[in-house]
């Protein structure tokens, strides 16, 4: 079993307050803010949830590392549980400012203005579950993620796939960095688009039918991989629809 530093050593102000939730309230009050974080007998030194007035957002997740002094946040939309904002910092006052903005219903772009450590995931809020907007949001997330990852082949694959109209209209998702597609959005993805693109690392791209299925081929470039994938798409794909729990 790993041995972690004592919480009182890493987070003395949290230990003194009795929980992370209570510490957030104390730090907020010092900044002239009022952060209604629930404090209960089971509140932890390592995690807290900050509620929000925005109906389609989940409570902001605030967590603390057990290895080093550092806090993490993640703000998700409620319908699918996908991250909209995230970040980490050693400054609890910054966490409080981000949490206050999330609670008060600040727009996604306003939250990093209040707390610069916050990063946008690229996704935007789609409270009406419009499938076309959900597709657009997920593509924007994948493109932002790819731009921030030190993996040229992955970035090239995402950009090449997005540039192809037949793929761009599908709902994209990844599994172990391999790019896949669906004609339904989360929470229930479809299985009618089997083609899967795997980026190389200084080597060829691989295209398979299914994540671990039959190999269709290997290509030297992302553009060639996308072209081969498109040639293996079903002929008459339906428009993307919302993947409700009742979807077949």
State the pLDDT at residue 246.
Answer: 65
- Assigned token pair, 238: 């339906």
| Together in a domain, 116 and 162 | no
Does the pLDDT at position 247 exceed 60?
Answer: no
d(CA 20, CA 15): 8
Number of independent structural domains in the chain:
2
| Together in a domain, 56 and 143 | no
| Together in a domain, 100 and 25 | yes
Instruction: Give the domain-ending residue among 120, 139, 169.
Output: 120
State the pLDDT at residue 3.
Answer: 84
State the pLDDT at residue 69.
Answer: 97
State the pLDDT at residue 96.
Answer: 98
**Could you tell me the pLDDT band of residue 222, with boundaries at 50, 70 and 90?**
very high
Instruction: Give the domain-ending residue among 62, 92, 120.
Output: 120
| Together in a domain, 229 and 197 | yes
| Together in a domain, 97 and 31 | yes
Express each pLDDT in 126-166 by its tens digit: 999 999 999 999 999 999 999 999 999 999 999 999 999 99
The pLDDT of 210-230, averaged and rounded, is: 95
| Together in a domain, 111 and 161 | no
Domain of residue 58 covers 7-120
248 within domain boundaries: no
The pLDDT of 191-219, averaged and rounded, is: 93
Express each pLDDT in 21-55 by its tens digit: 999 999 999 999 999 999 999 999 999 999 999 99
State the pLDDT at residue 1.
Answer: 74
State the pLDDT at residue 248.
Answer: 44
- Assigned token pair, 93: 């006052």
d(CA 85, CA 152): 24
State the pLDDT at residue 203.
Answer: 79
Instruction: Give the domain-ending residue among 120, 145, 176.
Output: 120
% of the chain with per-residue pLDDT over 90: 92
Express each pLDDT in 78-95 by its tens digit: 999 999 999 999 999 999
Does the pLDDT at position 186 exceed 90?
Answer: yes
| Confidence (pTM) | 0.92
| Together in a domain, 53 and 156 | no
| Together in a domain, 98 and 156 | no
């Amino acid at each position: 079993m790993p041995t972690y530093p004592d919480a009182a050593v890493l987070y003395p102000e949290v230990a003194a307050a009795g929980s992370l939730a209570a510490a957030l309230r104390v730090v907020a009050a010092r900044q002239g803010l009022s952060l209604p974080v629930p404090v209960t007998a089971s509140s932890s030194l390592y995690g807290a949830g900050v509620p929000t007035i925005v109906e389609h957002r989940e409570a902001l997740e605030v967590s603390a590392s057990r290895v080093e002094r550092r806090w993490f946040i993640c703000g998700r939309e409620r319908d699918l549980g996908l991250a909209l904002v995230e970040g980490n910092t050693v400054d609890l006052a910054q966490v409080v400012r981000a949490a206050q903005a999330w609670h008060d219903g600040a727009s996604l772009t306003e939250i990093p203005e209040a707390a610069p450590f916050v990063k946008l995931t690229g996704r935007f809020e789609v409270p009406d579950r419009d499938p076309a907007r959900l597709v657009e949001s997920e593509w924007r997330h994948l493109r932002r993620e790819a731009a921030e990852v030190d993996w040229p082949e992955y970035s090239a694959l995402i950009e090449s796939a997005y540039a192809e109209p037949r793929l761009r209209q599908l709902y994209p998702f990844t599994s172990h960095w391999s790019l896949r597609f669906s004609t339904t959005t989360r929470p229930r993805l479809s299985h009618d688009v089997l083609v899967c693109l795997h980026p190389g690392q200084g080597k060829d791209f691989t295209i398979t039918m299914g994540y671990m299925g039959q190999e269709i081929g290997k290509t030297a470039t992302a553009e060639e991989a996308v072209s081969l994938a498109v040639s293996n798409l079903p002929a008459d794909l339906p428009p993307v629809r919302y993947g409700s729990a009742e979807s077949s």
